[in-house]
Amino acid sequence: MHLRLIAVGTRMPAWVTEGVNDYLRRLPRELKAEFIEIPVASRTGGEDIARLKAAEGARILKAAKGARLIALDEHGRESTTLQWAEALQGWMRTGQDVALVIGGPDGHDPAVLAAAQAQWSLSKLTLPHALVRVVLAEQLYRAWTVTVGHPYHRV
């Protein structure tokens, strides 16, 4: 199974890249994880936001091609860590690739939301995109530890 974390935005602080990479490195070989950054469409002023989101959405869909698409969205369903673990177990059983996507500064393009098999929310809180990347990677690692009974997640 191939797990893709796709996020709109580049040039994150070093702690973000280090945090994401740290958690993804902890995953086992059979759960291959990849982090993909999509450039933000240029917002210099006066651009049509819908057009910019469409450009970002097209890049997301290209990067997620062939994978089950899960859009992280503020209006998505909140889940517990144990529910994440159940979802991860299901994905691993089927062997289907999964792409979890974080939208750009203006959110997801409607085409991405329409293509998504699910929309998840990490929290009712508004989180900065940089932090969402680290939280997402950590929760995926935590979900995996639950599936194998690793002591990282204490119930």
For residue 107, what is the DSSP state? B
pTM: 0.93
pLDDT given at position 153 = 86
Out of 2.40.30.10, 3.40.1280.10, 1.10.730.10, 1.10.540.10, the CATH code matching 2-148 is: 3.40.1280.10
pLDDT band, very low/low/confident/very high, at 42 (cuts 50, 70, 90):
confident
Q: What are the tens digits of pLDDT across the range 106-139?
A: 999 999 999 999 999 999 998 999 999 999 999 9
CA distance 93 to 87: 10
Token pair 């673990």 is found at: 85
Cα–Cα dist 56/77, whole Å: 23
Q: What is the rounded CA–CA span in Å between residue 122 and residue 44?
A: 30
Number of Cβ within a 10 Å radius of residue 26: 16
Q: What tens digit of pLDDT does each residue of 13-31 get?
A: 999 999 999 999 999 998 9
DSSP for 116-151? Answer: -SEEEES-SS---HHHHHHHHHHHHHHHHHHHHT-T
The answer on pLDDT for 155 being more than 80 is no
Residue partners of 35: CB distance under 8 A and separation at least 6:
4, 5, 7, 20, 21, 24, 133, 137
For the chain, which residues make up each domain, given as ranges? 2-148
Question: Six-digit token pair at 33?
Answer: 């994880």
pLDDT tens digit sequence for 52-104:
999 999 999 999 999 999 999 999 999 999 999 999 999 999 999 999 999 99
AA letter at 25: R
| pLDDT value of position 110 | 97
Task: State the Cα–Cα distance between residues 54 and 49, nearest whole angstrom.
Answer: 8
